A and B are shown apart, each in its own frame.
Chain A
Amino acid sequence: MKLKSKIIAAPYLVWMTAFIIAPLLMVLYFAFTDKAGSFTLENLSGLSQYTPVFVRSILLAAIATVICLVLAYPLSFMLSRLREGKQRIMLMLVMLPMWMNFLLRTYAWMTLLERNGLINRFLGLFGIGPLNMINTQGAVVLGMVYNYLPYMILPLYTIMVKIDDSLIEAAQDLGAGRVHTLTKVLLPLSVPGITTGITMVFVPSISTFIISRMLGGGSNLLIGDLIELQFLGNSYNYNLGSAMSLVLMVVVLLCMSFTNQLDNENKEGGVV
């Protein structure tokens, strides 16, 4: 039985070794070596000059994540209480944008937000504007929220359909109004969905380079853009790029372990 399961897992193990573990080791190696291949810490120590970019990336990703959570939470709850047929239709609508290519969706926002874009032309009819929307941090956050919102809705919805109506009724029965039902029952029970949602939105947001490039213009560089430049751009320096990737991974891991901490605390239950 054990041998059998190993054989079944073998294709993925090969895949994982070749495309996940090996590249990770390479990143590690390049981050601590210079062009000549000898050990150095310069790549990492030189990163301090990019601190503002790191901070901006974390900040924008965090804002986008919070907005996603605030938008998705009530929606997911509402979805989970609909009848099954309606649930399926609404879920389809949530997923619909994901059937389209990521780049196309982001391009679409460019044409909407442009100085001569649809929104400004529409507002122009009422004598407003033109507003400066594209190439702002706001546009970047909008792009993140738009692209990653479904990744927040799905885990929240999945956890909320499992919350039985009778638990909500029990809370009300025991004297909880709307606010207390939310804070004492619904929120604690949906923590696993919240942490998964946060991870699934925050991680791609913090490492994106397409959204910031297309909607943020040149002035709102994120860490993802910076890394891309080291590998594909003019400043070609894969040692530095690896060091950046390494730091980004550490930042992401820290954030994830923080949210996991929340999850675990919740699981232990019964805070007296």
Chain B
Amino acid sequence: MDNNTIIALKNIVVDFDGEAVLNGLSLDIHDKEFVTLLGPSGCGKTTTLRVIGGFLEPKSGNVFFNAKDITHLPPYKRQVNTVFQKYALFPHLNVYENVAFGLRLRKVDEKELKTRVLEMLEMVGLRGFERRNPVTLSGGQQQRVAIARALVNHPKVLLLDEPLGALDLKLRKEMQGELKRIQQNADITFIYVTHDQEEALTMSDTVVVMNGGYIQQIGSPVDIYNEPENAFVADFIGESNILSAVMERDFSVEFAGHQFTCVDKGFAKRALVDVVVRPEDIQVVPAIQGQLSGVVKSVIFKGVHYEMIVEQAGTDWKIHSTQAQQPGQIIGMNIGPDEIHIMHKMED
């Protein structure tokens, strides 16, 4: 735990009816960082958020806030605010009063309260909506009220539980940029939960990939994408070809019946590993020039590129290319040393 750590989770264990949801999870979150907890449903990401928010007391383990143990502190005493999945706006209050809710409880004087509420509504682009009832607003607008309601309290940390899940694709894209901008303006820590890998890569400083109550990998979006630590991460983040391989020696790996040069070293001799190759990293060349060759099984137009399934020695490769090939055609495939990502085999 360095000085910059604002929230630290230590060996958090949570179970529901004896079924473990978090298995001794430890995580440091740095101040002013945009951290995303990413994983499939049931991976424990929302549970982690609820532990930080104080809505769930872990069975064991500790939560630290600025190095102070807050494990048993109720939510209303934490300097953390939450944007809930379904917004959870108060239907009996108008937009203004929803945003003012936290300030009123803290007895902020009327003049300052008004300034802060209006300022916040300005920031989320909802000036003029003060007297509206939140149920009459669109999903995106409700979302922004929820964000304003949380941020107006100047929390040190904002927790967001899949806040864009209910929005349509276009609005979601817009709100992604918006959220990032708000985070940078407010200059606070965002902890963001999502199952959408693209969302995570777009917005985050740090991505925490979770599965089965364990952290799989922590890293910058670029690291997570380019250097997945195991097959789960590789498979979950983006599309990929994952193959079993043998590490012949340093800088040399064998898979798909071919010796490839790679940039990895330090594995045991003839170690069994997993290899990840991204579909866009495979170069399509004439059959005789390829390191590998295979038969095109299908071609699907995807807009920017074509997605092809190519069968090579019983393995189906996914390839993204801007040039379409004919189904049935035999093509060559080349993979550069930089495009081969070697991972330790998952123990399961």
Q: Which residues of A contact B (CB under 8 A)?
A: 164, 166-167, 169-177, 180, 184-185, 188-189, 266, 269-272
Q: 7 smallest A-B Cβ distances: which pairs?
A: A270-B94, A174-B102, A166-B88, A170-B88, A172-B75, A175-B105, A188-B92
Report the separation of the CA atoms of residues A174 and B53 in the bound assembly, to the nearest whole angstrom.
11
Q: In this assembly, does B111 line the interface, its C-beta being within 8 Å of a C-beta of chain A? A: no
Query: Given A164-B86, A269-B133 in contact, is the A174-B149 Cβ separation under 8 Å?
Result: yes
Q: Which residues of chain A have C-beta atoms less than 8 A from B93's C-beta?
A: 269-270
Contact (Cβ within 8 A) B97 A270? yes
Contact (Cβ within 8 A) B105 A174? yes
Report the separation of the CA atoms of residues A175 and B149 in the bound assembly, to the nearest whole angstrom.
12
Contact (Cβ within 8 A) B91 A170? no
Q: In this assembly, does B5 line the interface, its C-beta being within 8 Å of a C-beta of chain A? A: no
Contact (Cβ within 8 A) A170 B96? no
Q: Which residues of chain B have C-beta atoms less than 8 A from A272's C-beta?
A: 94, 96-97
Q: Which residues of chain A have C-beta atoms less than 8 A from B74's C-beta?
A: 172, 177
Of A172, A173, A180, A266, the residue contacting B92 (CB under 8 A) is A266
Q: In this assembly, does B302 line the interface, its C-beta being within 8 Å of a C-beta of chain A? A: no
> In the complex, what residue of chain B is closest to A170 when comparing beta carbons?
B88
Q: In this assembly, does B211 line the interface, its C-beta being within 8 Å of a C-beta of chain A? A: no
What is the minimal beta-carbon distance from A182 to any residue of chain B, in angstroms? 13
> In the complex, what residue of chain A is closest to B146 when comparing beta carbons?
A170
Q: In this assembly, does B84 line the interface, its C-beta being within 8 Å of a C-beta of chain A? A: yes
Q: Which residues of chain B have C-beta atoms less than 8 A from A173's C-beta?
A: 53, 55, 75-76, 80-82, 150
Q: Which residues of chain B have C-beta atoms less than 8 A from A167's C-beta?
A: 88, 90
Report the separation of the CA atoms of residues A261 and B133 in the bound assembly, to the nearest whole angstrom.
20
Q: In this assembly, does B106 line the interface, its C-beta being within 8 Å of a C-beta of chain A? A: yes
Report the separation of the CA atoms of residues A172 and B73 in the bound assembly, to the nearest whole angstrom.
12
Q: Which residues of chain B have C-beta atoms less than 8 A from A172's C-beta?
A: 54-55, 74-76
Excluding A166-B88, A174-B101, A176-B76, 5 further A-B contacts by CB distance (< 8 Å) are: A166-B86, A169-B82, A172-B75, A269-B94, A270-B94
Q: Which residues of B contact A (CB under 8 A)?
A: 53-55, 74-76, 80-82, 84-86, 88-94, 96-97, 101-102, 105-106, 131, 133, 149-150, 153
Report the separation of the CA atoms of residues A173 and B78 in the bound assembly, to the nearest whole angstrom.
8
What is the minimal beta-carbon distance from B96 to any residue of chain A, in angstroms? 7
Of A169, A170, A177, A271, the residue contacting B90 (CB under 8 A) is A170
Report the separation of the CA atoms of residues A167 and B101 in the bound assembly, to the nearest whole angstrom.
12
Q: Which residues of chain A have C-beta atoms less than 8 A from B86's C-beta?
A: 164, 166
Report the separation of the CA atoms of residues A140 and B88 in the bound assembly, to the nearest whole angstrom.
44
Report the separation of the CA atoms of residues A170 and B88 in the bound assembly, to the nearest whole angstrom.
7
Q: Which residues of chain A have C-beta atoms less than 8 A from B96's C-beta?
A: 270, 272
Contact (Cβ within 8 A) A184 B101? yes
Report the separation of the CA atoms of residues A173 and B89 in the bound assembly, to the nearest whole angstrom.
12
Report the separation of the CA atoms of residues A172 and B91 in the bound assembly, to the nearest whole angstrom.
16
21 contacts between A and B (CB under 8 A): A164-B86, A164-B88, A166-B84, A166-B85, A166-B86, A169-B88, A170-B82, A170-B90, A171-B101, A172-B74, A174-B102, A175-B153, A177-B74, A269-B92, A269-B93, A269-B94, A269-B97, A270-B93, A270-B133, A271-B97, A272-B94
Q: Which residues of chain A have C-beta atoms less than 8 A from B89's C-beta?
A: 170
Report the separation of the CA atoms of residues A270 and B130 in the bound assembly, to the nearest whole angstrom.
9
Report the separation of the CA atoms of residues A177 and B150 in the bound assembly, to the nearest whole angstrom.
17
Contact (Cβ within 8 A) A169 B75? yes
Contact (Cβ within 8 A) B105 A180? yes
Report the separation of the CA atoms of residues A166 and B153 in the bound assembly, to the nearest whole angstrom.
18
Contact (Cβ within 8 A) A185 B90? yes
Report the separation of the CA atoms of residues A216 and B220 in the bound assembly, to the nearest whole angstrom.
78
Q: Which residues of chain A have C-beta atoms less than 8 A from B84's C-beta?
A: 166, 169-170
Report the separation of the CA atoms of residues A272 and B101 in the bound assembly, to the nearest whole angstrom.
11
Q: Which residues of chain A have C-beta atoms less than 8 A from B75's C-beta?
A: 169, 172-173
Report the separation of the CA atoms of residues A189 and B131 in the bound assembly, to the nearest whole angstrom.
18
Report the separation of the CA atoms of residues A125 and B312 in the bound assembly, to the nearest whole angstrom.
93
Report the separation of the CA atoms of residues A271 and B90 in the bound assembly, to the nearest whole angstrom.
13
Report the separation of the CA atoms of residues A166 and B90 in the bound assembly, to the nearest whole angstrom.
10
Q: Which residues of chain B have C-beta atoms less than 8 A from A180's C-beta?
A: 105
What is the minimal beta-carbon distance from A144 to any residue of chain B, in angstroms? 31
Q: Which residues of chain A have C-beta atoms less than 8 A from B53's C-beta?
A: 169, 173
What is the minimal beta-carbon distance from A183 to any residue of chain B, in angstroms? 11
What is the minimal beta-carbon distance from A170 to any residue of chain B, in angstroms? 4
What is the minimal beta-carbon distance from A188 to any residue of chain B, in angstroms? 4
Report the separation of the CA atoms of residues A171 and B82 in the bound assembly, to the nearest whole angstrom.
10
Q: Which residues of chain B have C-beta atoms less than 8 A from A174's C-beta?
A: 76, 81, 101-102, 105, 149-150, 153
What is the minimal beta-carbon distance from A216 to any residue of chain B, in angstroms? 40
Contact (Cβ within 8 A) A175 B82? no
What is the minimal beta-carbon distance from B52 to any residue of chain A, in angstroms? 11
Report the separation of the CA atoms of residues A174 and B149 in the bound assembly, to the nearest whole angstrom.
8
Q: Which residues of chain B have C-beta atoms less than 8 A from A185's C-beta?
A: 90, 92
Contact (Cβ within 8 A) B90 A175? no
> In the complex, what residue of chain A is closest to B98 when comparing beta carbons?
A270
Query: Given A170-B84, A172-B74, A173-B75 in contact, is the A269-B91 Cβ separation under 8 Å?
Result: yes
Report the separation of the CA atoms of residues A164 and B133 in the bound assembly, to the nearest whole angstrom.
18
